[in-house]
């Protein structure tokens, strides 16, 4: 059970969350979430999750690998945040976590009670729509807030028209 959302109370605003995972479809999710946030006077949260399974080395090597992964995450999210500022005109919140994507998404939702909608975009690769969309569709990772899944065929112009 999710904590009560506060986004409709005075002093709060509804936030849309997009997960940054390096896939081409995440750009569409960010664009949609950003447009919805701007058009509804809400906020945008960009979440990047560093997989924790990548650091099973000797302690010194593990620390270096973790620092490099963090630097890469920060650079990736900074680039996307700059695109959001330039194209949409809003300042996104950036959250970088380490662990399982589903667990960290749920943790951010629980911690930030203004996050009200998770936005994902389906991929068009032969492997399927993407791990997060697949997990939602298969109910392996049900999230406690509404999830908007964008089709893989929408252009930014079509997204703008929908928002």
Instruction: Give 3's DSSP letter.
Output: P
Cα gap 33→108, rounded to integer Å: 16
Contact between 85 and 93 under an 8 Å Cβ cutoff? The reply is no
Per-residue pLDDT of 55-84, as tens digits, reads 566 667 777 888 888 999 999 999 999 999
What are the CA-CA distances from residue 146 to residues 87, 142, 150 (Å)? Answer: 25, 10, 13
CA angle 94, 102, 55 (to 5 degrees): 80
Domains of the chain: 13-160 (3.40.50.620)
Per-residue pLDDT of 78-119, as tens digits, reads 999 999 999 999 999 999 999 988 899 999 999 999 999 999
What is the pLDDT, as a whole number, of residue 127? 58
The rounded percent of the chain whose pLDDT value lies above 90 is 48
What is the pLDDT, as a whole number, of residue 131? 57
pTM over 0.75: yes
DSSP string, 55-102: --S-HHHHHHHHHHHHHHHHHHHHHHHHHHHHHT----EEEEEES-HH
């Amino acid at each position: 059970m999710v904590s009560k959302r506060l986004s409709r109370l005075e002093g709060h605003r509804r936030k849309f969350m997009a997960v940054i995972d390096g896939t081409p479809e995440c750009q569409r999710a960010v664009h949609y979430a950003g447009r919805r946030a701007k058009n509804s006077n809400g906020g945008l949260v960009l979440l990047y999750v560093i997989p924790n399974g990548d650091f099973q080395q000797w302690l010194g090597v593990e620390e270096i690998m973790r620092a490099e992964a963090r630097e890469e995450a920060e650079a990736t999210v900074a680039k996307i945040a700059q695109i959001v500022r330039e194209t949409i005109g809003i300042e996104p919140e950036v959250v970088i976590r380490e662990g399982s994507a589903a667990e960290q998404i749920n943790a951010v939702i629980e911690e930030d009670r203004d996050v009200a909608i998770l936005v994902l975009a389906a991929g068009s690769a032969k492997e399927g729509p993407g791990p997060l969309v697949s997990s939602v569709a298969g109910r392996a990772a049900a999230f406690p807030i509404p999830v908007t899944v964008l089709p893989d065929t929408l252009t930014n112009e079509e997204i703008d028209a929908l928002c």
